Structure formats: C-alpha cells, structure tokens
Amino acid sequence: MTEQEAHARYVDDSNVLAAIGEWIAPLVQRVSVRLPLALAEAAVAAWNRDETGEIGEETPDQYALRDRAAELALIGLAISERGQLDGDHVAVELHPASVAAAILAAQSRDHQ
C-alpha cells in the first residue's frame, strides 16, 4: 500500500468515526463527577489565566500539550459555572468530551 492509499484510508476512517460521533452525540448526557477540591481549584485557575500571547510554530507534541491545557480550562469553566462544594470535593456535571479528554490525558501520561 502506498502512502497516498494509506492516507486515503485514514481519511475514510476519520469520516466513519465522525459519523459514529454524530450518531452518539445526541444520546450522551453530562457526567456527574466529584473532584478533589485542589484539582477543581487548579482547573478553575487554568480557566482564569489570561493567555493572550501569540502562539508560534509548534511541534505535534507541543500542540497536544496545549490542547490538553485547553481541555483543563474548559473543565475549570464548568466548575466555575456549575460546581457545588461538597466537603473537600467539588461536584460538577461535565460534558463527556471533557471526561474523555481527562482520561486520555491520564493514559497518555501513563505511557510516557
């Protein structure tokens, strides 16, 4: 198989994955989680950071790292808007994509 053929197959696979996502998305609800207060506060701090600087050229690893930081900030936004203090935890409903991003980040860290 040539590189072009492989790329075309990956494009097709990506389109199928997107179609599955379109089918599943309306069926998926927010997920209720309880986060330790320190983690919740760190997520909110990520949301509240002012990052107005220009982003230069990035390696794929740098882009992935920045993407994970953005996902953390979105969790911080959810906590800011809907989080409820529950002892030494914060209860919040998160979008499944945020839950998945956090799990993937943990798995990525485990494989480093």
Query: Tens of pLDDT along the chain (112 residues)?
Result: 788 889 999 999 999 999 999 999 999 999 999 999 999 999 999 999 987 778 889 999 899 899 999 999 999 999 999 999 999 999 999 999 999 999 999 998 776 5
* Structural domain contains residue 5: no
What's residue 15's pLDDT? Answer: 95
CB-based contact 26:81 (threshold 8 Å): no
Q: How many domains does the chain have?
A: 1
Is 15 part of a structural domain of the chain?
no
* Structural domain includes residue 3: no
Position 53 scores a pLDDT of 75
- Tell me if 92 sits within 8 A of 44, measured CB to CB: no
Residue 12 lies in a domain: no
Find the domain containing 105 and state its range. 29-110
Q: Is residue 36 part of a domain?
A: yes
Contacting residues for 32 by C-beta, under 8 A, at least 6 apart: 91, 92, 93
- Residue 24 in any domain: the answer is no
State the pLDDT at residue 111: 66
